[in-house]
Amino acid sequence: MTDLNRHDWDDAILPFQLDSADIRGRVARLDKVLDNVLAQHDYPAVVENLVAEMAILTALIGQTVKLRWKLSLQVRGSGAVRLIATDYYAPQQDGDVGQIRAYASYDKEKLDLTGAGFEQIGKGYFAILIDQGQGTKPYQGITPISGGSLSACAETYFAQSEQLPTRFSLAHGRSLEAGGVQSWRAGGVMLQHMPKASPLIARDAATGEEGTLQNTDLLDGDDHENWNRVNILLDTVEELELVGPSVSQHDLLLRLFHEENPKAQELQRVRFGCTCSEKRVRDSLSIYSAKDIKHMINDEGKVTADCQFCGAHYVLEPTSVGMDALEKDGTS
């Protein structure tokens, strides 16, 4: 395996396979991506940590899908943290860079700044949405919020919706760089058992919360033994190894799974990116009637919109988003 300097490790995902165990996986690192995601909003620390966890999950999951366009993760809850949304945009061509964006919505009055983040989501659901682009029907899978962490929700989703045993080990936080500069770092490992030809499991075999399937419900015999062995190896990983200040993805893969003869594939690079544009804003406003548009006009006679992901501010002429139709009708 090729030695990489630290710059090459940043913001990249390494796919791998453990053929002897019939398991595939990913090692992901987010650095500048996470700095850019969190710089768009002045989140409290408890919200920042949830967004960071969701972003590294998105990097790991997005790279496992044969994706032509966009994968989205969403958490919607009844608590102080109402929504966490992330998008992973697949590279359009070989050698291109994937893009990640994320944001959260929360109730400042209800938020407990000293409490654990996951508990402040409350009851709700974790969803994965896959959009393969124009001419296709988007896919959506939903599972209840449970398990004590966002990564546990994702594991339940794959067991319940895809019947694929899946495990995540994640770490994230601020690191102190040379010169006293703080920056975000996040890293994670994803393990996933290869799909079976006939994966359907009886629902009455489910042992998880609210009757959901769990990893242990899906495996038996040699598959169960292989899964346990590889997970025991993953349990030895340390947080500093995951975030990777001094350990490359390749080195971490060998450190954890050298006995499993890991086969690494090509690194997939990612960056912060947003697809918002004035045209997309106009398209989104096209669902509103001319009367509704009239109520959106501000004191300066403009219609404005802000992108929640990147903070871009758009100022539009009312006639460009439907007011021309209202004026022609003579409706006031």
Residue 300's domain is classified under what CATH number?
Answer: 3.90.1280.10
* Same domain, residue pair 289 and 185: no
User: What pLDDT is attached to residue 207?
Assistant: 76
User: What pLDDT is attached to residue 256?
Assistant: 97
* Same domain, residue pair 266 and 292: no
Q: What is the C-alpha separation between 155 and 201, in angstroms, rounded?
A: 16
* Same domain, residue pair 139 and 176: yes
Query: What is the number of other CB atoms lying within 10 angstroms of the CB of residue 289?
Result: 12
* Same domain, residue pair 125 and 52: yes
Q: What is the C-alpha separation between 242 and 172, in angstroms, rounded?
A: 8
* Same domain, residue pair 255 and 297: no
Q: What is the DSSP letter of 297?
A: B
Q: What is the C-alpha separation between 5 and 10, in angstroms, rounded?
A: 9
Which phi and psi angles does 139 have, rounded to 5°?
-105, 140
Q: What is the C-alpha separation between 185 and 281, in angstroms, rounded?
A: 32
Cβ partners under 8 Å of residue 87, min gap 6: 58, 70, 71, 72, 99, 100, 101, 102, 275, 309
As given in the structure block, the two tokens for residue 179 are 């010169």
User: What pLDDT is attached to residue 325?
Assistant: 42
As given in the structure block, the two tokens for residue 112 are 């407990």
User: What pLDDT is attached to residue 216?
Assistant: 80
Q: What is the CATH number of the domain that holds 15?
A: 3.55.30.10
Residue 42 lies in a domain: yes
* Same domain, residue pair 166 and 296: no
State the residue range of the domain holding 294: 278-329
Which phi and psi angles does 130 have, rounded to 5°?
-120, 120
Q: Characterise 47 by phi-psi region: left (phi > 0), alpha (psi -120 to 50), beta (else).
A: alpha
Domain count of the fold of the chain: 2
Q: What is the C-alpha separation between 198 and 200, in angstroms, rounded?
A: 6
Rg (CA), the chain: 22
User: What pLDDT is attached to residue 202?
Assistant: 52
User: What pLDDT is attached to residue 187?
Assistant: 96
Residue 1 lies in a domain: no
Residue 35 lies in a domain: yes
Residue 262 lies in a domain: yes
* Same domain, residue pair 265 and 293: no
- Of the residues 228, 245, 272, which one is the last residue of a structural domain? 272
C-beta separation of 314 from 280 below 8 A = no
As given in the structure block, the two tokens for residue 166 are 């899946």
Residue 191 lies in a domain: yes
Residue 298 lies in a domain: yes
- Of the residues 225, 253, 272, which one is the last residue of a structural domain? 272
Residue 133, CA distances (Å) to 48, 61, 72, 92 in order: 30, 18, 13, 12
**For residues 45-75, b (16+ Cβ closer than 10 Å) or e, as one string?**
ebbbbbbbbbbbbbbbbbbbeebebbbbbbb
Cβ partners under 8 Å of residue 39, min gap 6: none
Averages of pLDDT over runs of 10 residues in the chain (332 residues) are 54 94 95 94 94 97 90 96 96 89 95 91 96 90 94 94 94 80 92 74 66 84 94 96 88 95 94 85 76 82 82 80 50 42
* Same domain, residue pair 71 and 212: yes
* Same domain, residue pair 150 and 221: yes
* Same domain, residue pair 93 and 140: yes
* Same domain, residue pair 309 and 265: no
* Same domain, residue pair 122 and 138: yes
User: What pLDDT is attached to residue 205?
Assistant: 65
- Of the residues 272, 298, 317, which one is the last residue of a structural domain? 272
User: What pLDDT is attached to residue 201?
Assistant: 56
Residue 320 lies in a domain: yes
Query: 268-272 and 98-106: which strand pairing?
Result: parallel
